[in-house]
């Protein structure tokens, strides 16, 4: 970020001080915590801290689970977004609200809800366990499930908005050219929503990577199996603060990377 | 031989009703003319299958595409209809060449065959050097040609063009109008052209169908329309004065009470409500009450003056409102300006009368 003296164009209005002061406060408020984190980092030991077995396990698990969660969110979220954008059905508003619920729901509550559905004694979890011996609690699959739950809305929101915004007459044009509905989806609709989808994927992935509340409630906190990076940060903050800080730094770096990618590639067209 | 036989009935949610019959032979271009909101685009959508019929049917080369009674409905992708949209609707993420190849590819042609077809059409529309350009990089005229080429690709059995020239600037429009007729002749099925410009219809189409408020009001060549315009819209379109009146004795009584004499109304050949068409160049203007053999003489005030090529059109309001077409010289000689009083005369032989 570069703050340059604003070169005002002739005739441009002065920025009102009443807005400027709180805005500057907001910037300081956003930047100071990052600076605080950076000055806590013991740079000389950074490599060592990140290569401890605990840190490596947490990072590896986080990457693996968040990527799977992102894939699932896309696989299920895009069709849901299409349904919400294109098909008029009774209860569509309710379904849309449900799809957005994980976004506003406290993650811990999400975890409890998942537990009551997919836990060992849960609505679906119990029969699944009895019939196939499948269980989600205390497994990496559970982590993926929790992360998918919180990441899904980002894909649904962005893709639905893009589907609504796109010129549907382009699909009409393609169909008059002999394209089947599937061909229209593949060659016209998806390319049209690709930028939005990329943005949604990036946001979903960042959200999955940072997931804490639902994961610890539903999947537990077992080293090497369900202890993702955010869980490790929380747990190690007392015993090994240096490692916790190093892990935090990695996640900040990843998130800034995602944002930069978003700005540079996908949000520019606006 | 009728290739396209359509009877299109559509009921829109707004209450608008479309009910138009349309027949076209292979190799024939029909222009659908009409004011905004007449239902022209809806008509094309129905032919393309983008909107199912509520009544009637569409038959192309003997096969039924849509029939509201039997429930037959062939979806757009299976109709083999080339549609050129008003705003072209080119695919922004594909090059000009890939836009044109899209149809053949979607209909199962191999990449190579579709590419060859695209190259042939790019050559035809004179854009061989713009093959790899994205639609955003094309000028209006180029985009129009790509859209036309895309509609022509894969030799569709029916070609539909929705205001193909309306998005172009005036100069481009003039030469594209000429080219379009030539390009259309490469397509051997029926072609339906929607436009609101009578010049497009006159240059490009063989026959004109005038649609107003969802119904056909007149059908024929532009010359036939000009001779006997059926409605005010058609008369304005072809630039002809149209008066409506009732035959009384050997003249026509107009709503204002004025009488109109026509050579057509002499021996009781026409009775009842009639339309009278008077071409603007048959209206003579005078500054004083004229002493002429012309049977029709009315006075009025000049309401507006507009240039039309090398002629000038003068709109006169009075008991009989008319448009007269004179030379700029005559305008000067008579010192005609908005607001001045003038006398109009029309010979009885210049008033063409026909049943309303």
A174 contacts B91? CB cut-off 8 A: yes
Domain ranges of chain A: 53-266
Residues A259 and A267: their CA atoms lie apart, in Å, by 10
Task: Quote the pLDDT of residue A1.
Answer: 45
Check residue B210 and give its pLDDT.
Answer: 94
Work out the average pLDDT over B334-354.
89
pLDDT in tens, A26-39: 999 999 999 999 99
Instruction: Find the closest chain B residue to A179 by CA distance.
Output: B106
Task: Provide mean pLDDT across the span B325-336.
Answer: 88
The answer to whether the CB atoms of B83 and A173 lie below 8 A apart is: yes
* Gap between the Cα atoms of B288 and B285, Å rounded: 9
**pLDDT score for A264:** 65
Q: Which residues in chain A are contacts of B79 at CB distance < 8 A? A: 176
Considering only B20-29, B47-56, B267-276, B316-325, which range has the smallest mean pLDDT? B267-276
Count of CB atoms situated within 10 Å of the CB of A49: 22
Inter-chain CB proximity A175 and B102 less than 8 Å:
no
- CA dist A202 to A141, A143, A258, Å? 21, 19, 6
Query: Does residue B244 have a pLDDT over 70?
Result: yes
Please give the CATH number for the structural domain made up of B2-232.
3.40.50.300
Distance between CA atoms of A26 and A9, rounded to whole angstroms?
A: 26
Question: What was the pLDDT predicted at A177?
Answer: 95
Residue B162 has pLDDT above 50, yes or no: yes
Q: What is the CATH number of domain A53-266?
A: 1.10.3720.10
Tens-digit pLDDT profile for residues A45-66: 888 988 888 889 999 999 999 9
Rounded CA gap, A226 and A217, in Å? 11
- Region A131-151: mean pLDDT is 91
Q: Do domains B2-232 and B239-355 have the same CATH topology?
A: no
> How far is A145 from A133, CA to CA, in rounded Å?
17
Long-range CB pairs of B232-235 (<8 Å, 24+ gap) are B233/B34, B233/B35, B234/B210, B235/B277
In angstroms, the separation between the Cα of residue A179 and the nearest Cα of chain B is: 5
What residues in A contact B103, CB-CB < 8 Å?
177-178
Look at A178 and B154 and tell me if their CB atoms are within 8 Å.
yes
Closest of B270, B283, B303 to residue B343, by C-alpha: B283
Q: Which two tokens stand for residue A122?
A: 């849960």
Phi, psi at A83, each rounded to 5°: -60, -45
DSSP β-bridge partners for residue B314: B305, B324
Q: What is the ipTM metric for this complex?
A: 0.79
For testing the chain A interface, which of B74, B75, B89, B95 should be mutated: the one with the most A CBs within 10 Å? B89
Kindly indicate the confidence band of residue B223, based on its pLDDT and cuts at 50, 70 and 90: confident
Is the pLDDT at A266 greater than 60? The verdict is: no
State both tokens at A98. 């449900």
Percentage of chain A modeled with pLDDT above 90: 65
pLDDT for the residue A8: 57
CATH for the stretch B239-355: 2.40.50.100
CB contact under 8 A, B77 and A169: no
And the tokens for B166?
């309306």
> Which residues does chain A have within 8 Å of residue B91's beta carbon, measured at their own beta carbons?
170, 173-174, 188, 191
pLDDT value for B83: 95
The alpha carbon of residue B99 is apart from the nearest alpha carbon of chain A, in Å, by: 10
Instruction: Please state, in angstroms and rounded to a whole number, the distance separating the CA atoms of residues A243 and A47.
Output: 10
Which residue of B77, B78, B153 is the best one to mutate when testing the A interface, meaning the one whose CB has the most A CBs within 10 A? Answer: B77
**Domain residue spans in chain B?**
2-232, 239-355
> pLDDT tens for residues B41-87?
999 999 999 999 999 999 999 999 999 999 999 999 999 999 999 99
Does the beta carbon of B35 lie under 8 angstroms from any beta carbon of chain A?
Answer: no
pLDDT of residue A265: 58
pLDDT per residue as tens digits for the range B79-136: 999 999 999 999 999 999 999 999 999 999 999 999 999 999 999 888 999 999 999 9
Query: Which chain A positions have a beta carbon within 8 Å of B86's beta carbon?
Result: none
What is the reported pLDDT for A270?
41
The SS3 call for residue A85 is helix
Q: Confirm if A176 and B82 have CB atoms less than 8 A apart.
A: yes
Please tell me the predicted confidence (pLDDT) of residue B115. 95
- pTM here is 0.78
Chain A touched by B355 (CB under 8 Å): no
Q: Which of these, B277, B280, B270, lies nearest to B248 by C-alpha position?
A: B270
Whether A172 contacts chain B with CB within 8 A: yes
Confidence band, pLDDT 50/70/90 cuts, at residue A268: very low
Please report which confidence band the pLDDT of residue A86 belongs to, taking 50, 70 and 90 as the band edges. Answer: very high
Question: Rounded distance, CA A162 to CA A77, Å?
Answer: 13
Q: By the CB < 8 Å criterion, does B106 face chain A?
A: yes
Q: What is the band of B337 on the pLDDT scale with cuts at 50, 70, 90?
A: confident
Write down the H helix ranges in chain A: 17-40, 46-50, 53-86, 92-104, 107-118, 125-132, 140-165, 169-176, 181-184, 190-210, 213-218, 229-239, 241-261
Q: What is the mean pLDDT of chain A?
A: 89
Chain A residue with CA closest to B76: the answer is A176
According to the model, what pLDDT value does residue B202 have? 86
Burial class for A52, CB neighbours closer than 10 Å (0-12, 13-18, 19+): middle
């Amino acid at each position: 970020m570069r703050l340059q003296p604003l070169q005002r164009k002739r005739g441009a209005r002065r920025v009102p001080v009443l807005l400027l002061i709180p805005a500057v406060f907001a910037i300081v408020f956003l930047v100071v915590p990052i600076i605080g984190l950076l000055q806590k980092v013991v740079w000389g030991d950074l490599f060592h801290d990140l290569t401890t077995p605990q840190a490596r396990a947490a990072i590896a698990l986080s990457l693996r689970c968040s990527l799977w969660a992102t894939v699932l969110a896309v696989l299920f979220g895009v069709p849901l977004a299409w349904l919400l954008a294109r098909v008029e059905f009774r209860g569509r508003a309710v379904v849309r609200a449900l799809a957005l619920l994980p976004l506003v729901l406290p993650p811990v509550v999400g975890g409890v809800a998942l537990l009551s559905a997919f836990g060992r004694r849960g609505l679906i979890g119990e029969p699944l366990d009895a019939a196939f011996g499948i269980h989600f609690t205390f497994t990496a699959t559970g982590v993926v499930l929790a992360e998918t739950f919180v990441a899904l809305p980002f894909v649904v929101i962005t893709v639905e908005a893009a589907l609504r915004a796109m010129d549907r007459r382009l699909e009409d044009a393609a169909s008059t050219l002999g394209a089947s509905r599937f061909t229209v989806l593949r060659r016209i609709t998806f390319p049209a929503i690709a930028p939005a989808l990329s943005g949604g994927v990036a946001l979903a992935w960042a959200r999955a990577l940072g997931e804490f509340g639902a994961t610890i409630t539903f999947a537990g906190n077992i080293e090497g199996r369900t202890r993702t990076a955010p869980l490790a940060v929380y747990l190690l903050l007392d015993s090994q603060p240096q490692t916790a800080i190093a892990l935090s730094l990695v996640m900040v770096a990843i998130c800034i990377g995602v944002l930069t990618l978003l700005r540079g590639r996908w949000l520019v067209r606006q | 031989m009728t290739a396209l036989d359509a009877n299109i009935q559509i009921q829109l949610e707004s209450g608008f009703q479309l009910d138009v019959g349309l027949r076209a032979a292979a190799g024939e271009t029909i222009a659908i003319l009409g004011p905004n909101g007449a239902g022209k685009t809806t008509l094309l959508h129905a032919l393309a299958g983008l909107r199912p019929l509520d009544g009637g049917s569409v038959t192309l080369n003997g096969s039924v595409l849509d029939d509201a009674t039997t429930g037959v409905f062939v979806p757009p992708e299976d109709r083999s209809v080339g549609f050129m949209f008003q705003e072209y609707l080119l695919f922004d993420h594909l090059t000009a060449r890939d836009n044109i190849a899209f149809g053949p590819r979607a209909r199962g042609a191999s990449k190579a065959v579709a590419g060859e077809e695209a190259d042939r059409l790019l050559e035809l529309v004179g854009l061989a050097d713009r093959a790899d350009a994205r639609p955003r990089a094309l000028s209006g005229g180029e985009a129009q040609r790509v859209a036309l080429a895309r509609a022509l690709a894969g030799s569709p059995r029916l070609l539909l063009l929705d205001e193909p020239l309306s998005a172009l600037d005036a100069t481009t429009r003039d030469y594209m109008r000429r080219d379009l007729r030539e390009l259309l002749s490469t397509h051997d099925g029926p072609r339906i052209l929607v436009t609101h410009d009578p010049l497009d219809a006159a240059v490009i189409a063989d026959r004109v169908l005038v649609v107003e408020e969802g119904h056909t009001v007149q059908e024929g060549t532009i010359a036939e329309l000009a001779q006997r315009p059926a409605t005010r819209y058609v008369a304005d379109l072809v630039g002809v004065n149209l008066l409506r009146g009732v035959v009384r004795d050997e003249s026509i009584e107009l709503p204002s009470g004025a009488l109109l004499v026509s050579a057509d109304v002499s021996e009781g050949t026409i009775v009842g409500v009639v339309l009278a068409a008077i071409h603007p160049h048959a209206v003579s203007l005078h500054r004083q009450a004229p002493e002429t053999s012309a049977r029709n003489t009315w006075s009025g005030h000049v309401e507006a003056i507009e240039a039309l090529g090398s002629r000038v059109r003068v709109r006169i309001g009075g008991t009989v409102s008319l448009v007269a077409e004179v030379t700029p010289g005559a305008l000067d000689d008579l010192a005609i300006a908005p607001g001045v009083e003038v006398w109009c005369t029309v010979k009885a032989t210049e008033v063409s009368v026909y049943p309303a």
